[in-house]
Amino acid sequence: MASISHSPLAFTGTSSASDLFRSSSNGVSGVPLRALGKVRLGMRRNLAVVAKLRKVKKHEYPWPEDPDPNVKGGVLTHLSHFKPLKEKPKPVTLPFEKPLVDIEKKIIDVRKMANETGLDFSDQIISLENKYNQALKDLYTNLTPIQRVNIARHPNRPTFLDHVFNITDKFVELHGDRAGYDDPAIVTGIGTIDGRRYMFMGHQKGRNTKENIQRNFGMPTPHGYRKAMRMMYYADHHGFPIVTFIDTPGAYADLKSEELGQGEAIAHNLRTMFGLKVPIVSIVIGEGGSGGALAIGCANKLLMLENAVFYVASPEACAAILWKSAKASPKAAEKLKITATELCKLQIADGIIPEPLGGAHADPSWTSEQIRNAINKEMDELHKLDTEALLKHRMMKFRNIGGFQEGIPIDPKKKKNMKKKDEPINVKTPVLDLEGEVENVKQQILKAKESSNEPPMLPLTETIEKLRKEVDTEFSEAVKALGLKDRFATLREEFSKVNAQNQLLHPALKEKLEKLREEFNQGLSSAPNYEDLKYKLDMLKELSKAYDLAEKNKKAAKLKQEVNKKFSEIMDREDVKEKVEALKAEVENSGVSNFNDLDDNLKGKIVELRKDLEFEFIDVLKSLGLDVELKSKPVEQTLPSEVKTKIEELNEEINDRIENVINSSDLKDKIELLKLEVAKAGKTPDLAAKNRIVALEQQIRQSIAAAVESSNLKEKHEKLKAEVSKTVESSGGLDGSLKTENPNEDSFSFDESRVVGANRTFG
């Protein structure tokens, strides 16, 4: 082959590195191609070599024209397709966060008003900000599983590359599965943390719609898993620890992926990860769905962010399978046990990485710092293990999941029901939600009052029941905070034994109860949840009053209707109509318009008819279970002052005597026992409880009656009674005459003031 000797040609102009064609085999060194294309070289056989450059489109991506060598992560960071967003992502409000948005709007409105008017609203702003912070704390410390699922899927939640660029000192992204494909849904690369090299790989979701389409919404194809496996072998060969980030709803399950071997790729990854001789730490930063997550999740340590979820099937899919409706997803999320807390209890996850209030998207930098600290801590622990111990540690982590050991005797109670009954979890409702519910019920009651309708009893009853549960929970927390939980539990057991045996409460047990109650009441104000307890208790009292008033009005209206119906039946009887009509005719024939001018015979007839009707009305009221009192002119108004003084003195003496009897130890214990029995029986006591209460009431009445009879009070009462009767007769009062302000009234109606109250022990 013809050789080209070194030519002393002088090349002018500047040449880039890509233009230089260097080859030791052809003897040309450092000759620009452009020069070769322009200069004709003399060669044997008169041959000429002409080189032309094909014009192509200039690509600046991924390298910019002037790459910054001091960029964070090193100059190779420019190789990554992941660039900062030009626009700030729009805030997204989850459904359960709407109460927080309402408070934020109020804060903005007050600030705007302060700026416009120049007035000082700092106190109101501080109060609203404190209310917002408390509501945020209450909401995010009592999240339900489905709410955590929604947070894990939040559009603004930090992605894998967001965290990687925050926690690494240098990072270079590596591409391709060496089979012609590069799946953007899985990102891999090498990075350093505190000078220690790691192989990073993880699912990458998009930060907007365009990126989500490019990244396939974080759902990898087989190419992505094969790329991850290639990087695992690479890390294993060079001794780089592996850190994987899981954030995928699952592997992409389209026809093409199945044809390319989706299941085989995942299975190959699972097998490979158990044989890697380097430490592996997996972190679930969002949602980890099924085998798509597990394909890069077979690690020595599995960590989860506080609001991340890890599941074999999404709550929506589970609900559609079991309950035939995706609307049951909240129930499915609760039953699946997919949150970080539940998975740690099941020993599937090994640790929880905290998130700020509001979720990881509220403060991504702080969240990344917590991830960085967790990686350093777990890797320090795993680096202490040798290769054999490391492999065994990884294998035993998964072998122990859901396992049991043969030969260990099972508790007999568990043989009857292998699954333990779930203990009720008292999750406190945020104060803000309770305020909204109570305010809504109040508005409904006011609207019903304005329209003269009955208040809505169902929402009122449900809200009261909810508030009672909340108050019980707050009381339980206060008891626990004051260190009285064990003492309350002991007393409850003793009280239950007494109640089961239908025995009277022992004075010593009663004294213990009183002492503990007094100690609790004294220390209640120092409990950390005292303000919440007091506030919820006030709301409960307010709604309970409204409920009692509504029930009372409802019963009174119903009773009034029944009584008027009975009265109408009496007045519509033929014999009563005839008597009334006859008396009306006699009054008209007498020609007298004033009742006092009627003769005594006619007055007597009217009084007699009214007494007969009153007796019938009393019988009707008593048949409805009411005590009736006929109101007339008080006798005391017709008595002289000396007699009034004697009555007052006797009343004081009787009251003093009764009070002394009640304060005696024997009777006082019975009264306290009666109170306990009534409280224990509640609103719907059984027959045994009623009998105990009636027996105690009779014993108390008999003790009081015996004490009064044993003294000379009865004799004094009889003497004074005779004296009062003599005085009344001498003054001409109570002569049986009937006086009325309306003599022409010929109908009778129910008077509520005549009904004193229901003669019922339990109303």
| pLDDT-based confidence at residue 548 (cuts at 50, 70, 90) | confident
* pLDDT value of position 32: 52
pLDDT at 444 over 90: no
Tell me the C-alpha to C-alpha distance, in Å, between residue 155 and each of 159, 166, 203, 207, 747: 10, 19, 15, 7, 76
* Residues with Cβ within 8 Å of residue 484, at least 6 apart in sequence: 516, 519, 520
The mean pLDDT value of the chain amounts to 78
Contact between 43 and 4 (Cβ < 8 Å): yes
pLDDT digits (tens, 9 = 90+) for 640-655: 777 777 778 778 877 7
pLDDT above 70 covers a percentage of the chain that reads 77
pLDDT at 575 over 90: no
* pLDDT value of position 85: 78
Three-state DSSP state, 281: strand
pLDDT digits (tens, 9 = 90+) for 665-687: 677 777 777 877 777 777 677 77
pLDDT at 416 over 90: no
Most confidently modeled of 324-333, 534-543, 644-653, 737-746?
324-333
Name which of 139-143, 660-664, 670-674 the model is least confident about: 660-664
Three-state DSSP state, 469: helix
Q: Give the pairing of strands 196-203 and 186-193.
A: antiparallel
pLDDT digits (tens, 9 = 90+) for 324-356: 888 899 999 999 999 999 999 888 999 999 999
pLDDT at 80 over 80: no
* pLDDT value of position 408: 60
* Residues with Cβ within 8 Å of residue 671, at least 6 apart in sequence: 662, 700
Tokens of 494: 């003793």
pLDDT digits (tens, 9 = 90+) for 274-325: 999 999 999 999 999 888 999 999 999 999 999 999 999 999 999 999 998 8
In the predicted model, what is the mean pLDDT of residues 228-255? 94
Pick the closest to residue 472 from 386, 514, 532 (CA basis): 532
* pLDDT value of position 39: 46
- The angle formed by the CA atoms of residues 50, 56 and 61, to the nearest 5 degrees, is 140
Cα(394)–Cα(399) distance, rounded to whole angstroms?
9
* pLDDT value of position 234: 95
pLDDT above 90 covers a percentage of the chain that reads 28
In the predicted model, what is the mean pLDDT of residues 92-108? 88
pLDDT digits (tens, 9 = 90+) for 142-158: 899 999 999 999 999 99
Pick the closest to residue 328 from 146, 80, 533, 595 (CA basis): 146
